[in-house]
Structure 1
Amino acid sequence: MGVRSRWSKPGGTRRGPVGIAAAALVLALTAGCGAGPNSVDAASGSYKDAVSRTNKELTDVYRQIKGLDPAARKKKLIELAGREGGDITWYTAAADDDTTPLIKEFKKETGLTVKVYRASSATVLAKSLEEKKAGRVRGDILNYSGLDPTIGAHQGIYAPLHTIYADRMVKGTVHTNWIADQLYPFVVAWNTDKVKPSQVPSTLKDVLTRFGDGQLAFESTDSNWLFGVVQELKREGMTEKAAIDLVADAARKGVPVTGHTLISELLSSGQFSAAAMTYHYRSARQHQDGAPVAWEPQPQPVITTVSGTAISATTQRPAAALLFLEFQLTGEQKYWETAGRTTTNTDYSGGISQTKYHLDLIDDETLYKNLSKWDKLYADMMQSSGRPPRE
């Protein structure tokens, strides 16, 4: 079935909770306005000058590789990156277990070293926006997830992106100046010791109505999931109010849990019967490892968010940055495939089957415009149960 994209327009979207993304944006913009020793008002022109220099240098890189086939393009980029000198700095929310093999393989292929700054997506975004206020984002490649790539696009921290791999990507994952390198399908999962086959939900409405008090867990900050579910229920004929009320009723009886790793662990240990949203690769791995966790048959469509990557608007190593970004669209995709992650390059088929399952990409452009509304709605829902979030 593949991915159904509902982006309202190209240009901008993160893996983590939207509420934290919004907080990170406010924090970064507020902190950047302070008078710290390294603070430089972007209006002074320092950031604009850095962007102008990068654009000029990147344009020259694009000129030198224009028309080359993939092998020749890669060879030329390695040559140009070598002339730039220095290491590549990668800002990412990817886990250490993922970044270590990826940068090792990249160095093997290119001879170039990648230094990693790794934290939650919201933290990485906040760091990037603070650095923008100080005159230059120091990361060469910026990798966020969920809504954060959209925020980055709107905050003007990405360089123009032209890649020969764009036509190989899943529909809806290529944007004006960033591209999704991984899909994160939200799947409902259940504990097989607690949920009989006859109780397994077959629709999104089933997920929200089939479980009693204390039986269904919700990741406590996933307001992007709420937005995606409400949009789908509206397409099925419900009014927005009715859809929100349906989720609110389920949340009132539910168990809030902070963190996707924790919600999967608690589900496996039988702390509740089902989880309304888990990352597919976690639940699939638990099932494969013999834990009492299942996620199939999965209600469709599958609400899906992304991990997005871009070249920094102020990188001083444009050839190296482009080379690493295109590695993320090829060599990294091979790694995601073997790791059970859902790939965005259609030459690979990792993770959830995009022919069997209908993945519905969250319309993050629309979400971005109404972020405070959906954050507040979801926060109120999570508080309505009277249960403090499991952390």
Structure 2
Amino acid sequence: MPANERLPALVRAAQAEGSLTVNLRADLVAPELERAFEDQYGIDLQIVNPGTARITRQQILQEARAGKVRSDVIESYVHEMDTIYAESHVITHLPRFLRESALDPSLTTEFSAETFQYPFLVAWNTQRVAAAEAPRRFEDLLNPRWANRLVMVQNYEMWYKALFDRLTGDGMSVEEFERVFRHIAADSNVTSSSNPASAFLASGQYTAGININLNSITRIDGAPIAFEPVVGAVPLLPNGIGLARDAHHPAAALLFAHWYLTDGVPILQEEQFIQQSPNETRLDGAPVVRPELDDLDSARLQEWREAYDALLRGGDEVLPAYVRGGTP
């Protein structure tokens, strides 16, 4: 079909379907996205977000095993889209026209197109930490004054991998990385997500958070929380959308994905400080780093997940075997 006829035909087919359900991580702007898409196309859009990425993944994989995936479009971390969701046959190949319609086609893969990134950083309570005592490097957090005053968030294995890639790439040895982060984890309490961690920081229950998602900080108006000067580099974890393999509304799914990657971008960019564009390379002047994904498949992703879980509980194997053994 000629390119100039494809979108009008897709709109007609999607409007005939009448509705769709999408699972999005962009919860900050979900009402704005729903309203804008429905106003433009007259198609009923339901955006769902069950919670953390792990809860979402568990729910969708359970639906897939039952043969009843609810969502027509799925958005999650790119490293999960291109491994777990693709290998479990939850999502299907993105058509070429959809990849080419993205603002930056280089940020698309066979199964996903990047939409935004979450920044994760060290943050601290300014009422409990004087400016002169604020950490500048991760090694600063080994000082005894931080003992049992830190909080870390579970399930952030790609934050852990991104820091490993960056710090060891900058010259830190694997042994030193392990020593530093074992110490930090031993001095940390653990929470289920960044939202309670930020609330604990704001209340002063904990003094500093090690891997806090920036959007959870900015949600708390007037919170006595600072994150600048940034400690080290800022890991950015990219999110991307994919099409459900057995979508109930396939035309509407295609149309929404096209819209989200084009007309929906300005809505995401209204929250750009919180949800960074995939093209961003700095955050308020600080360097950012993305985890290396070229070497990642489901097995290695699971290794990083188990390693990070071991770190938080004080286990033995806090880095994947292929890293400790130096296997490329």
TM-score normalised by L of structure 2: 0.82
The correspondence for 1:112, drawn from 43, 56, 62, is 43
Aligned residue for 1:278, secondary structure, equals strand
For 1:115, give the aligned amino acid. Answer: Q
Cα distance in structure 2, aligned partners of 1:379 and 1:134: 28
Cα deviation for residue 285 of structure 1 reads: 4.7
Equivalent residue, structure 1, for 2:3: 67
The structure 2 residue matched to 1:149, chosen from 81, 89, 97, is 81
Match of 1:335 in 2: 267
Deviation at 1:235, TM superposition (A): 0.7
My pick for the range that moved more, 124-133 or 300-309, is 124-133
Secondary structure at 1:168 match in 2:
coil
* Letter of the structure 1 residue corresponding to residue 12 of structure 2: E
Percent identity over the alignment is 21
Equivalent positions of 1:10-89 (< 5 A) are: 64=1, 66-68=2-4, 74-83=7-16, 85-89=17-21
Distance in 2 between residues matched to 1:329 and 1:205, nearest whole Å: 40
Where does structure 2 lack aligned partners over 5 or more consecutive residues? 316-328
| Cα distance in 1, alignment partners of residues 205 and 290 from structure 2 | 30
Query: 363-372 vs 315-324, which deviates more?
Result: 363-372
Q: Deviations over 1:129-152 (max 9, x none)?
A: 334334463421112236432311
Cα distance in 2, alignment partners of residues 174 and 132 from structure 1: 24
Counterpart CA distance in 2 for 1:290 and 1:117 is: 29
One-letter identity of the residue aligned with 1:297? P
CA distances 1:344-390 after superposition (whole Å, capped 9, x unpaired): 365xx8xx9558332211234545432343333322332239xxxxx
What are the superposed Cα offsets for residues 89-116 of structure 1, whole Å, 9 maximum, x if unpaired? 2134554x63333112110011111134
Deviation at 1:249, TM superposition (A): 1.0
Correspondence 1:323 to 2:259? no
Measured after TM superposition, the shift of residue 279 of structure 1 is: 1.0
Q: Distance in 2 between matches of 1:236 and 1:153?
A: 32
Contact 2:122/2:208 (8 A) holds in 1: yes
- Cα 1:341–1:109 change in 2 (3 A) is farther
- Structure 1: give runs of 5+ residues left out of the alignment: 1-63, 386-391
Tell me what 1:246 maps to. 180
Give the length in aligned residue pairs.
309
Residue pair 2:154, 2:191 contacting (<8 A) in 1 also: yes
Inter-CA distance 336–355: structure 2 relative to 1 (3 Å threshold): same
Q: Does 1:168 align with 2:103?
A: yes
Q: Which moved more, 1:125-134 or 1:147-156?
A: 125-134
Instruction: Check if 1:362 corresponds to 2:298.
Output: no
Q: TM-score, normalised by structure 1?
A: 0.70
CA distance in 1, matches of 2:15, 2:227: 46
Rounded to whole Å, the distance in 2 between the matches of 1:371 and 1:86 is 38
Counterpart secondary structure, 2:229: coil
> How much has 1:247 moved relative to structure 2?
0.1
Contact kept? 2:78, 2:112, Cα under 8 Å:
no
Give yes or no for the alignment of 1:278 onto 2:212.
Answer: yes
CA distance in 1, matches of 2:203, 2:125: 8
Q: How does 1:341-356 map to 2 (within 5 A)?
A: 341-344=274-277, 356=285
**Distance of 2:263 and 2:146 partners within structure 1:** 45
Q: Hey, what's the Cα distance between the residues in 2 that align with 1:380 and 1:209?
A: 22
- What amino acid is aligned across from residue 149 of structure 2 in structure 1? Q
The 1:204/1:232 distance shift into structure 2, 3 A limit, reads farther
**3-state SS in 1 of match to 2:223:** coil
Distance 1:366 1:207, change over 3 A: farther
Cross-structure match for 2:65: 133
